[in-house]
């Protein structure tokens, strides 16, 4: 609106703003952005003096980019909110110095204690456990447990199997590098489920072993993966852990640093899947809380156009999947994402939850691309989708299209409409769901306890 | 088997509220302690919940009958000696009834030294908006004005409020009012730009670069000045002028009557004073942050609410030359709550 010429790049002003802006642009939370900006300014203040002396504009830009710094021409007060009490600075400095002193003393004591403790109380390694193959009759999916694609190779030696190397208070260490923090683990209701057999309806057999793995995102707060946000990252994960543990939401949670936490014991059901559908090898599974492990990555899916997990999460996800698959003989076709299975039974629509409805790195996990697999909820039960689904995904994943083609072929061969075919299949879903709900209620009421105990397949086979 | 706590957790609107309830985390508060209104802001789910109360009172003589009437009509009051102090929203109604002006616990952005009831009334108003802290040390950020050459008054005002908030269990931090507007409205600009809050007692201005305030100043003209000045020339009570102003003043249209004419004149005077002060403060600033981008100005506050205020500001701005580039002027998304929402961001930042 006024006529002052813009500041040239020569003074670095534009470069600074761009460097900061390009990094902070991805931060959507205003508080996180504020913290990022202010801490970047503080961290970069010293570096900025040197960077500004670099004569090459390109080189300066690159340095700013690398450092993500922004320099100011005046001293900044990071606590400045435009007004600050006069007594706080001194007490703050004293507090800071005293904290450093206490921390240094604590570090010395801590290092000594850890050294002594390690020598005297190193936990004894327990023998092979995860690598022991379980009898195939434990879960229906074991029957279809093909080896699947090899895990993509990474340099270095890989163990021949996954076994428990050692465990101790609050942890288990496995041979493939997987370390599970067990300090948050809670028991849940024992796993128990029945499946719908192809052509046979609701099977009589009751299973207690997991048949599959369902991958989730927690949709919780995500802080920038930077040292200056360490406290936020840790706090956020701990709050999340307490919450998911209290509500028994997943079997495993992988935090942003790739730490794997057991949330609900492996022999229990977790409340992770809700109304959901999956099918493989002629067996159909409704509502996957019991039959599937819930493995959640601490992140927001955000449409799945970019991989929303950290490298550490990816690495831990791979080792955890490898461990679970090997220990329970889980077939690759039974490893799928929540977004691919979640349905709304009332509206007969897919995508009730959409986490990982796109973008899960199946290949990196040594798993088949489930997005291309005919989607059971659409193919077998005639489910559709709505505008909201398309708004998020633009178009359905290929498996939905494949299922729709199956429905169209079925309609053409019978000389009826696709809508009619859909309605029939939705009716089938409603009937099966009602059967399953009835069975669950009977289980809860304890009416079938005696009969069930005879049918349940236990870990002994 | 269809249990899905997640259905009620992450992907529904109430998820964050439930999370907050369940984990019992401290809930930071932003508070705009303005001359005309007190506004509180708290996070509620993904959004922000704001509540406001008129920062005014009127004393009436005590009688048991009057007290009963006030109690029956759910009117905020407390007894002080032989008076009943009516405060908050009901004040305007009573001022009309008794044909008198409302009184303010604050003047020119700080505690009113001429009102002995100032802090008592303000405490009562704040109590209505702000429960005691759930846990000791919850963060509360409250707005304070920029005080050119009146730092001792500001120190007293800020210190008095801070002590009161601490007595409610909060850890209180003060934030400049203009900066709070930048926090709430200029996130997309990386908190770079100019935030202006036009309140009842004064207009506060801050210029920040990447959230760091560079210039902060205020003018002691605001909505009250307009009401009092117009009231004086029209021989009307200021609160009646205020009512007329708030009933739909349109500064973009020619005034229809003497009331509107007076309001137009005093609004133009206020905006001219504001823009002149902006130019003066920018010109004498020794170290303005350098940016290759022009800055955005955000207008907020109840006094900026009348239709046409932004256009009036833009017209006045165009007639003057500023030493920085301005990309545009825009109104805050919700002018009356912008400062409180910005204070909330500051509280969350401090957490």
Chain segment B138-188, per-residue pLDDT in tens? 999 999 999 776 678 888 899 999 999 999 999 999 999 999 999 999 998
Which of B25, B176, B192 is facing A239, going by the closest CB pair? B25
Backbone angles phi, psi at B147, to 5 degrees: -120, 100
For residue B5, give the nearest of A17, A271, A353 by CB distance. A271
The radius of gyration of chain B from alpha carbons, rounded to an integer in Å, stands at: 21
Over the range A88-119, which residues count as b (16 or more CB within 10 Å of their CB) and which as e?
eeeeeeeeeeeeeeeeeeeeeeeeeeeeeeee
Out of B1, B141, B210, closest to residue A41 by CB: B210
Q: Is the pLDDT of residue A6 over 80?
A: no
Is the pLDDT assigned to residue A149 strictly greater than 60? Answer: no
Let me know: does A85 contact B144? Beta carbons within 8 Å.
no
Q: Do B6 and A353 touch (CB under 8 A)?
A: yes
Confidence band (pLDDT; 50, 70, 90) for B93? Answer: confident
For the ranges A238-252, B49-63, B88-102, the lowest mean pLDDT is seen at B88-102
- Distances in Å between the Cα of B214 and the Cα atoms of A110, A452, B144, B176, B198 are 44, 73, 16, 12, 19
Is the pLDDT assigned to residue A153 strictly greater than 70? no
pLDDT at residue A47 in the model: 64
For residue B86, pLDDT beyond 80: yes
Cβ of B212 under 8 Å from any chain A Cβ?
yes
Would you state the pLDDT for residue A460?
29
Question: Quick check: A1 and B325 CB within 8 A?
Answer: yes
CB contact under 8 A, A37 and B317: no
Assess whether pLDDT exceeds 60 at residue B224.
Answer: yes
Given B19, B25, B325, which is nearest A4 (Cβ)? B325
A positions 181-240 inside 8 Å of B (CB): 193, 216, 218-220, 239
Question: Taking Cα atoms as reference points, which of B155, B131, B117 lies closest to residue B40?
Answer: B131
Q: What is the dihedral of CA B263, B269, B274, B280, to 10 degrees?
A: 180
Of the candidates B19, B144, B290, which has its C-beta nearest A83's C-beta? Answer: B144
Average predicted confidence (pLDDT) for chain B: 86
CB A41 within 8 A of CB A74: no
Contact A13 B214 (CB under 8 A): no
- Residue A60: predicted pLDDT: 64
pLDDT (tens digit per residue) in B27-53: 899 999 999 999 999 988 778 899 999
CB distance A334 to A214 below 8 Å: no
In this prediction, residue A57 carries a pLDDT of: 64
**Can you read off the two tokens belonging to residue A325?**
């698959």
Determine the pLDDT at residue B291.
64
pLDDT at B241: 86
User: How do strand B57-61 and strand B83-87 relate by DSSP bridges?
Assistant: antiparallel
Q: Which pairing describes strands A212-217 and A252-254: parallel, antiparallel, or unpaired?
A: unpaired
Coil, strand or helix: which one is A7? coil
Q: Is the Cβ pair B321, A3 closer than 8 Å?
A: yes
**Could you say which residues from 386 to 425 on chain A have a Cβ atom under 8 Å away from some Cβ of chain B?**
none
Longest dimension (CA), chain A: 87
Work out the end-to-end distance of chain B between its first and last CA atoms, rounded to an integer number of angstroms. Answer: 40
Comparing CB atoms, the residue among B144, B211, B323 nearest residue A34 is B211
Top pLDDT among A96 and A357 is at A357
Please give, rounded to a whole number of angstroms, the shortest distance from the CA of A230 to a CA of chain B: 14
Q: How many CB pairs under 8 A join A and B?
A: 165
CB contact under 8 Å between B317 and A30, yes or no, is: no
Residue in the block written with tokens 């590098």: A177
Q: Nearest 5 degrees, angle CA A435-CA A440-CA A441? A: 100
pLDDT tens column, A208-261: 999 999 999 998 878 888 888 888 888 889 989 998 998 899 999 999 999 999
pLDDT at A114 over 80: no
> Pick from A418, A390, A424: which is nearest to A404 by CA?
A418
pLDDT for the residue numbered A160: 77
> Does pLDDT of B287 surpass 70?
no
Please, which residues 54-73 of chain A have a Cβ atom closer than 8 Å to chain B?
Answer: 70, 72-73
Q: How confident is the model at residue A151 (pLDDT cuts 50, 70, 90)?
A: low
DSSP H helices, B285-337, are 309-318
Sign of CA dihedral A115, A119, A122, A125: positive
pLDDT of residue B116: 86
Q: What ipTM does this complex have?
A: 0.81
Look at residue B283 in the predicted model and tell me its pLDDT: 87
Mean pLDDT to the nearest integer, B86-109: 86
Residue B101: HSE in the Cβ half-sphere, 13 Å Cα cutoff: 13
pLDDT at A347: 93
Q: Which pTM does this prediction carry?
A: 0.54
pLDDT digits (tens, 9 = 90+) for B296-339: 999 999 999 999 999 999 999 999 888 888 999 999 999 999 99
A1–B9 CB contact, under 8 Å: no
Average pLDDT estimate for B59-69: 88
A280 in B contact zone (CB under 8 Å): no
pLDDT category at B242 given cuts 50, 70, 90 is: confident
Alpha-carbon gap: A274 to the closest alpha carbon of chain B (Å): 4
Classified as helix, coil or strand, B100 is: coil
User: Do A357 and A339 touch, CB atoms closer than 8 A?
Assistant: yes
Residue of A30, A89, A207, A231 for testing the chain B interface, max B β-carbons within 10 Å = A30
Express each pLDDT in A75-107 by its tens digit: 344 456 766 544 333 334 434 444 444 454 445
Residue with tokens 């009602």: A434
Residue B134 has pLDDT above 90, yes or no: no
A454 — pLDDT class (breaks 50, 70, 90): very low
Q: Which residue of A has its CA nearest to B320?
A: A2
Contact assignment for A274 to B22 by CB distance below 8 Å: no
Distance from CA of B88 to the nearest CA of A (A): 28
| pLDDT single digits (tens) B247-277 | 888 999 998 888 889 999 999 999 999 999 9
Task: Return the closest-CA partner of residue A277 out of A350, A208, A204.
Answer: A350
| Cβ within 8 Å, pair B190-A35 | no
Q: Which of A83, A218, A273 to mutate to test the interface with B (most CBs of B within 10 A)?
A: A83
Looking at residue A287, the DSSP 8-state letter turns out to be S
Residues of A in contact with B317 (CB under 8 A): 1
Instruction: Check CB contact under 8 Å for B291 and A14.
Output: yes
Task: Locate the chain A residue with the closest alpha carbon to B159.
Answer: A85
Specify the residue for token string 């022991």: A132
**Distance separating alpha carbons of residues B241 and B236, to the nearest angstrom:** 7
Between the CA of residue A439 and those of A122, A204, A217, B292, what are the distances in Å? 48, 11, 30, 68
- Please give the pLDDT value at position B18: 43
Is B325 close to A34, i.e. CB distance below 8 A?
no
**Mean pLDDT computed over A129-141:** 41
CB B210 within 8 A of CB A20: yes
Closest CA to B200 of B252, B253, B145: B145
Q: pLDDT by residue (tens digit) across A278-323?
A: 999 999 999 999 999 999 999 988 888 888 899 999 999 999 999 9
In angstroms, the CA A62 to CA A59 distance is 5
Query: Residue B8: is its pLDDT beyond 50?
Result: no
Q: How confident is the model at residue A112 (pLDDT cuts 50, 70, 90)?
A: very low
Chain A residues touching B213 at Cβ < 8 A:
80, 82
Taking the C-alpha atoms of residue A414 and residue A28, their distance in angstroms, rounded to an integer, is 52
A413: Cα within 13 Å, side-chain hemisphere: 7
Task: Find the mean pLDDT for residues A123-134.
Answer: 33
Confidence of residue A52 (pLDDT cuts 50, 70, 90): low
């Amino acid at each position: 609106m006024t006529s002052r010429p813009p500041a040239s790049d020569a003074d670095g002003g534009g470069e600074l703003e761009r460097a900061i802006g390009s990094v902070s642009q991805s931060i959507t939370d205003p508080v996180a952005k504020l913290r990022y900006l202010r801490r970047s300014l503080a961290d970069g203040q010293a570096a900025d003096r040197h960077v500004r002396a670099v004569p090459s504009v390109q080189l300066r830009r690159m340095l700013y980019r690398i450092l993500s710094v922004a320099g100011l021409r005046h001293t900044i007060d990071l606590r400045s909110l435009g007004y600050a009490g006069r007594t706080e600075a001194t007490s703050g400095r004293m507090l800071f110095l005293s904290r450093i002193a206490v921390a240094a003393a604590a570090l010395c004591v801590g290092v000594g204690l850890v050294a002594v403790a390690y020598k005297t109380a190193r936990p004894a390694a327990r023998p092979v456990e995860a690598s022991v193959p379980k009898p195939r009759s434990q879960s229906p999916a074991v029957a279809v447990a093909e080896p699947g694609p090899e895990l993509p190779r990474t340099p270095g030696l890989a163990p021949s199997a996954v076994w428990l190397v050692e465990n101790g208070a609050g942890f288990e260490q496995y041979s493939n590098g997987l370390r599970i923090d067990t300090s948050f683990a809670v028991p849940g209701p024992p796993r128990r489920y029945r499946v719908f057999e192809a052509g046979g309806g609701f099977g009589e057999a009751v299973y207690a072993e997991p048949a599959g793995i369902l991958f989730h995102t927690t949709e919780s707060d995500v802080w920038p993966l930077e040292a200056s946000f360490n406290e936020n990252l840790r706090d956020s994960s701990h709050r999340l852990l307490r919450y998911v543990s209290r509500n028994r939401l997943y079997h495993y949670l992988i935090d942003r640093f790739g730490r794997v936490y057991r949330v609900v014991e492996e022999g229990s059901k977790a409340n992770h899947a809700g109304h959901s559908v999956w099918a493989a090898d002629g067996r159909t599974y409704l509502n996957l809380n019991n039959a599937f492990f819930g493995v959640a990555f601490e992140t927001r899916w955000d449409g799945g156009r970019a991989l929303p997990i950290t490298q550490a999460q990816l690495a831990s996800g791979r080792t955890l999947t490898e461990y679970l698959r090997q220990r329970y003989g889980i077939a690759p076709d039974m490893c799928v994402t929540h977004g691919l299975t979640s349905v709304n039974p009332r509206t007969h629509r897919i995508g009730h939850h959409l986490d990982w409805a796109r973008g899960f790195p199946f290949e990196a996990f040594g798993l088949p691309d489930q997005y291309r697999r005919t989607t059971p909820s659409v193919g077998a039960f005639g489910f559709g989708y709505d505008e909201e689904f398309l708004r998020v995904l633009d178009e359905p994943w290929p498996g939905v299209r494949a299922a729709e083609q199956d429905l169209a072929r079925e309609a053409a061969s019978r000389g009826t409409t696709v809508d009619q075919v859909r309605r029939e299949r939705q009716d089938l879903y409603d009937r099966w769901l009602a059967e399953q709900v009835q069975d669950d209620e009977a289980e809860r009421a304890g009416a079938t306890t005696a009969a069930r105990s005879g049918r349940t397949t236990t870990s002994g086979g | 088997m269809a249990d899905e706590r997640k259905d009620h957790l992450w992907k529904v609107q109430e998820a964050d509220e439930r999370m907050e309830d369940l984990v019992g985390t401290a809930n930071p508060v932003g508070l705009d302690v303005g001359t005309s209104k007190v506004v509180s802001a708290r996070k509620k789910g993904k959004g922000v919940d704001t509540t406001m109360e008129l920062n005014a009172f009127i004393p009436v003589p005590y009688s048991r009958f009057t007290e009963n009437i006030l109690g029956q009509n759910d009117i905020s009051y407390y007894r002080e000696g032989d008076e009943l102090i009516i405060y908050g929203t009901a004040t305007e109604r009573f001022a009309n009834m008794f044909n008198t002006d409302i009184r303010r616990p604050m003047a020119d952005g700080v505690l009113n030294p001429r009102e002995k009831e100032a802090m008592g009334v303000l405490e009562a108003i704040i109590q209505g908006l702000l429960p005691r802290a759930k846990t000791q040390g919850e963060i509360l950020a409250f707005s304070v004005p920029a005080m050119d050459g009146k730092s001792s008054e500001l120190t007293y005002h800020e210190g008095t409020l801070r002590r009161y908030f601490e007595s409610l269990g909060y850890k209180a931090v003060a934030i400049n009012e203009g900066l709070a507007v930048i926090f709430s409205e200029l996130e997309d600009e990386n908190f770079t730009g100019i935030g202006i809050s036009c309140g009842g007692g004064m207009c506060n201005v801050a210029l920040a670069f990447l959230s760091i305030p560079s210039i902060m100043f205020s003018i002691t003209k605001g909505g009250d000045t307009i009401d009092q000045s117009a009231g004086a020339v029209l021989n009307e009570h200021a609160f009646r002028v205020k009512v007329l102003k708030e009933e739909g003043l349109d500064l973009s249209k020619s005034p229809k009557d003497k009331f509107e004419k007076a309001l137009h004149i005093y609004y133009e005077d206020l905006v001219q004073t504001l823009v002149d002060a902006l130019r003066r403060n920018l010109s004498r600033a020794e170290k303005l942050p350098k940016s290759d981008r022009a800055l955005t100005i955000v207008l907020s506050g109840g006094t900026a609410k009348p239709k046409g205020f932004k256009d009036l500001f833009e017209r006045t701005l165009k007639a003057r030359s500023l030493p920085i580039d301005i990309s545009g002027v825009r109104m805050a998304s919700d002018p009356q709550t912008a400062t409180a929402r910005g204070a909330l961001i500051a509280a969350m930042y401090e957490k």
